[in-house]
Amino acid sequence: MKTYSVLLLSILIVFGTLAGCAPFGWSDEKSSASAPFYLPIGAALIGELPPKNNVVEQAIEAYTHTELQFEWIPMSAYDDKLRLMIAAGELPKLIKLGYAPVYIATIKDGQFWELGPLLKDYPHLSALDNQYYKNISVEGRIYGVPIIRDFGRATIQYRKDWFDRLGLEVPITLEDWYRVVRALTLEDPDGNGKQDTYGMVLEKKYNQDVSSILTRISVSQGGPNKWLVENGHFTPEFMTKPFFDTMKLFRRLYKENLINSDFVVVDTNETTKIYDSGRAGIQISGGNVQTWLDKLTKTVPDAIVDVALLTGPGGIRLPGEAGNAGFLAIPKDSVKTLEEVEKILDFLNKLFEPPMQTVITKGVEGRHWADRGDYTEVLNRTLDLKEVKPYRDLLPFLADDQSSIKPSLQPELYLKNQKIGQVNRAYIVENPALTLESDTYREKGKELETIILDAETKFIMGMIDEEGWNAELAKWKQAGGDQMSLEYERSL
């Protein structure tokens, strides 16, 4: 405890230095005898579980005068767990939601506090680009604070050492993708004399949400992002030729055993382990490729990975995203008063102040990073992944868009990925229905989505042919798909 106390004191002194303000910027408030505000938070976990009450949590608690209790839920089980918590009325005071039909319906049922009219009293929250709020609004109202992300994140990440060994190029056409995945699977890219690698590994949510690999590759090939709008008429992506051609690619890969046959049951954690252990060679990801390299080199010290723009026959082209990884909302079941809502907003507002952005982005000085004058340097990338990344994934931070904290000295690969992220913004294809209203989507969105997601999987696995696929499309239309398209047209 003594070590942590000394460390925490040094953290807070540094806060003042980095922020260009007096240390202990919260001193007036903290000098009061009030007890810390108890704030349980429902959190999606990607990667390792951080140590309980670690120094990052302590730093956030000290600055915001809170007692935090994070309930970490693996991302692969998050939606199921959250639905149970909502049904049981057992949500924490602050919870991460996604912009999905089930949550939108819950919001419309009045189970969460509307925050829009209150934001003006919180300078950092109200200063955010309005587009971030617009993309999480429900019927024009704001019910959360976005966990901000870039609007165009998809990149191709690949084992450059394997590509060089086999003479491969980064894929552009669908045929390129087939050749690359085939070679990485069958031509012994790691040179161990065994056929024990995959070109690409899929997980059970391969076709869902903004990270759908079908959408990402289809868009790169000229397809729309979720919906095509022509002459005011809305057509879903899965009824377009680029998307169908992309499905045929994966059907071919599956038939020839070039992707993992168990993809319908494995989750992200399992597929990540395959990539991190050096058994797969290419993926499309929204994360920074440096994270993959840091984990991979523990198993394959001489591994080389690289990152490239998502490019198709027509040039760089990728799906635009909502600019968030979900949003933090306040349930009415667990937060009964406006006074409590304001305390939570105050906590979120403080997270955007430079000292907190430093902790969320970099961790704690002396443990996770060092001050090198004009920049900071990561001291231990493994510790950063274990103790800092979970909070970076969960809490709002502005990443490269903030000038109030010192830049980090990062490896060349990390910076290359960052630069691609900036370039991506000029080439994103927007989802035209992202914030449009549809009663059918709210009431039947999950059912309609399930029809298509299942049909895509059946087609890829060869359980249905093109005729069967068309039958599934007809089923989707009759179940409400046509009505949803009409409602989008009317709300455009």
Task: Report if residue 7 sits inside a domain.
Answer: no
480 found inside a domain: yes
What's the pLDDT tens digit per position in 171-211? 999 999 999 999 999 999 999 999 999 999 999 999 998 88
Are 274 and 163 part of one and the same domain? Answer: yes
**What confidence tens digit (pLDDT) does each residue in 276-300 have?**
999 999 999 998 999 999 999 999 9
Q: How confident is the model at residue 403 (pLDDT cuts 50, 70, 90)?
A: low
Same domain, 175 and 305: yes
Strand 318-319 to 428-429 pairing: parallel
- Mean pLDDT score across all residues of the chain: 90
Q: Are residues 447 and 425 in the same domain?
A: no
34 — pLDDT class (breaks 50, 70, 90): confident
Total number of domains constituting the chain: 3
CA neighbor of 329 nearest in space, from 88, 100, 112, 134:
112
- Report if residue 11 sits inside a domain: no
The answer to whether residue 374 scores a pLDDT higher than 90 is no
Residues 277, 170 share a domain: yes
Domain check: are 211 and 281 in the same one? yes
pLDDT digits (tens, 9 = 90+) for 143-175: 999 998 888 999 999 999 999 999 999 999 999
Dmax (CA) of the chain: 71
Q: Are residues 140 and 169 in the same domain?
A: no
Please indicate whether residue 27 or residue 402 has the higher confidence score (pLDDT): 402
Considering the domain architecture, whether residues 145 and 157 belong to the same structural domain is answered as no
Does residue 99 lie within any of the structural domains? yes
Give 107's pLDDT tier (boundaries 50, 70, 90): very high
Q: Same domain for 178 and 282?
A: yes
Class of residue 443 by CB neighbours under 10 A (exposed 0-12, middle 13-18, buried 19+): middle
Helix (H), strand (E) counts: the chain: 21, 17
Taking 80 as the threshold, does the pLDDT of residue 231 lie above it?
Answer: yes
Statement to judge: residues 127 and 232 lie in one domain: no
Claim to verify: residue 302 and residue 334 sit in the same structural domain: no
Q: By three-state DSSP, how is residue 367 classified?
A: coil
Residue 94 placed within a domain: yes
- C-alpha–C-alpha distance, residues 472 and 56, integer Å: 49
| Percentage, residues of the chain above pLDDT 90 | 74
Spatial separation of the C-alpha atoms in residues 24 and 65, rounded to whole Å: 11
Helix H or strand E segment including 466:
helix 466-476
pLDDT for res 402: 58
Same domain, 364 and 262: no
Residues 328 and 307 in one domain: no
What's the domain range around 474? 436-491
Answer whether residue 274 is part of any domain.
Answer: yes
What one-letter code names the amino acid at 474? A
CATH of the domain at 332: 3.40.190.10
Contact assessment for residue 51 and residue 387, using Cβ atoms and an 8 Å cutoff: yes
pLDDT interval class at 399 (50, 70, 90): low
What pLDDT score does 400 carry? 55
Q: Name the residue with higher pLDDT: 23 or 448.
A: 448
pLDDT recorded at residue 99: 85
**Can you tell me the mean pLDDT for 91-112?**
91
276, 254 Cβ separation under 8 angstroms = no
DSSP states along 387-410: HTHHHHHHS---GGG--SSPPEE-
Of the candidates 1, 16, 62, the residue with the CA atom closest to the CA atom of residue 37:
62
DSSP for 72-120, written as a single string: EEEHHHHHHHHHHHHHHT---SEEEE-SSHHHHHHHHTT-B---GGGGG
| CA distance linking residue 207 with residue 160, whole number of Å | 26
Residue 97, token pair as written in the block: 């939601």
Note whether residue 399 is domain-resident: no
390 within some domain:
no
